[in-house]
Amino acid sequence: MISQTCYTPLNAFLSYLQFEKRYSLHTITAYSNDLIQFFDFIETQYEGISFTQVSGTMVRSWLAAMKEDEISAKTLNRKISSLKSFFKYQIQQGQLSKSPMDTVISPKVNKRLPAFVAENDMEQLFTNLEFAEGWKGFTEKMVIQLFYATGMRLSELINCKETQLDISKRIIKVLGKGNKERMIPISPELSEELRNYISQKPSTAIGNPHLFVTEKGKALQPKAVYTFVKFYLSQVTTLQKKSPHILRHSFATHLMNNGADLNAVKELLGHASLAATQVYTHNTIEKLKEVFSKAHPKA
């Protein structure tokens, strides 16, 4: 359940995100934190006004205050997005006729190419690297394999149930953001390894529906997955970030570099719009430049 705040209009909006939009707890918490921060500022600076009296000037003064605290443009844009959603909801509810966000301009963000692990480094990870012994190592290897083979998000993978896996059809059903389902194919080899993994689950896991479990039969925890993914990736790459999300970036980038259709990659990643997937085309262009510079006599 979402905790109630001291701001009644905000509580109704958060309930709307939870029960109608079906956003994840993580996403709703982010909205809540942004909006509470804003309303606290308004309460301090403009005591006694209601949300219907908020103006674009007031919003910009809040953003300016955060900019002075050296908050990044990316974070400011997220907060602006939270406010836009809140005021759009109020218009839909008939509380406002116009949003104060209409006059607020989002700061420009320098786009960074998504980091990814090179294909030969991923190959080395699975062929030359020794994983921990026993069930712990078996689980860690299977988790990393599935991350790289499917591009699943961390939350999607650790919440994945055995029933979402169809070994005979070599398909895994993924529940993404907003409980949207997508089907991802997996290789015959990985299907067989997953079958083997399930058959060897410890007796302590009986009754636990999760695909991946610990030695004690419990569901994996995000922090633990971060820790072992970082450990194994550090053996094969010098990338600064070594998180499960880097494996998602690697999955998408390697697909694009090997000629996959952009729309197909969008569906596999579970992106709502093509714009989110297009960032991976930049890595493809960089690879083409590299090939050109190495192969062309006039490069």
Residue from 31, 197, 232, 280 carrying the catalytic annotation: 280
Domain limit, last residue, from 69, 103, 137: 103
> Does residue 12 share a domain with residue 98?
yes
> Does residue 128 share a domain with residue 87?
no
Tell me how crowded residue 248 is: count the other CB atoms within 10 A of its CB: 22
Residue-wise pLDDT for 31-54, tens only, equals 999 999 999 999 999 988 999 999
In total, how many domains does the chain have?
Answer: 2
Q: What is the pLDDT of residue 252?
A: 95
Arithmetic mean of pLDDT, 160-177: 95
Arithmetic mean of pLDDT, 152-177: 96
Q: Rounded to whole angstroms, how far apart are CA atoms 182 and 180?
A: 7
| Measured CA angle at 55 (ends 53, 57), to 5 deg | 145
Confidence of residue 1 (pLDDT cuts 50, 70, 90): low
Which of 125, 133, 130, 135 has the alpha carbon at shortest distance from 220? 135
| Measured CA angle at 246 (ends 254, 197), to 5 deg | 85
> Does residue 76 share a domain with residue 198?
no
Q: Dump strand ranges (E) for 1-138.
A: none
Residue-wise pLDDT for 6-36, tens only, equals 899 999 999 999 999 989 888 999 999 999 9
- For residue 125, is pLDDT > 80? yes
Does residue 90 fall inside a structural domain?
A: yes
Average per-residue pLDDT in the chain?
Answer: 92
The 3-state DSSP class for residue 128 equals coil
Q: What is the pLDDT of residue 233?
A: 97
**153 counts as catalytic:** yes
Residue-wise pLDDT for 204-222, tens only, equals 999 999 999 999 999 999 9
Give the structural domain span for 162: 119-295
Q: What is the pLDDT of residue 109?
A: 76
Does residue 114 fall inside a structural domain?
A: no
> Does residue 137 share a domain with residue 30?
no
**177 counts as catalytic:** yes
Residue from 182, 271, 282, 287 carrying the catalytic annotation: 271
Residue from 248, 249, 254, 266 carrying the catalytic annotation: 248
Does residue 96 fall inside a structural domain?
A: yes
Does residue 152 fall inside a structural domain?
A: yes
- For residue 286, is pLDDT > 80? no
Q: What is the pLDDT of residue 114?
A: 86
> Does residue 151 share a domain with residue 267?
yes
Confidence of residue 292 (pLDDT cuts 50, 70, 90): confident
Q: What does pTM read for this prediction? A: 0.71
> Does residue 133 share a domain with residue 35?
no
Q: What is the pLDDT of residue 290?
A: 73
- For residue 263, is pLDDT > 80? yes
Confidence of residue 294 (pLDDT cuts 50, 70, 90): confident
Arithmetic mean of pLDDT, 116-128: 95
Residue from 173, 177, 182, 287 carrying the catalytic annotation: 177
Does residue 276 fall inside a structural domain?
A: yes
**282 counts as catalytic:** no
151 contacts 244 by C-beta, under 8 angstroms:
no
Confidence of residue 238 (pLDDT cuts 50, 70, 90): very high
| Structure-derived torsion over alpha carbons of residues 87, 92, 98, 103, reported in degrees to the nearest 10 | 40
Crossing angle of the two packed helices 25-45 and 56-68, in degrees rounded to 10: 100
Arithmetic mean of pLDDT, 139-162: 97
Tokens of 17: 């995100």
Residue from 31, 79, 89, 153 carrying the catalytic annotation: 153
Radius of gyration of the chain (CA): 23
> Does residue 243 share a domain with residue 286?
yes
Q: Rounded to whole angstroms, how far apart are CA atoms 119 and 239?
A: 14
β-bridge partners, 172: 165, 184
Arithmetic mean of pLDDT, 55-77: 93
Q: For position 143, which CATH number holds?
A: 1.10.443.10
Domain limit, last residue, from 35, 70, 103: 103
Burial class (CB in 10 A: 0-12, 13-18, 19+), 122: buried
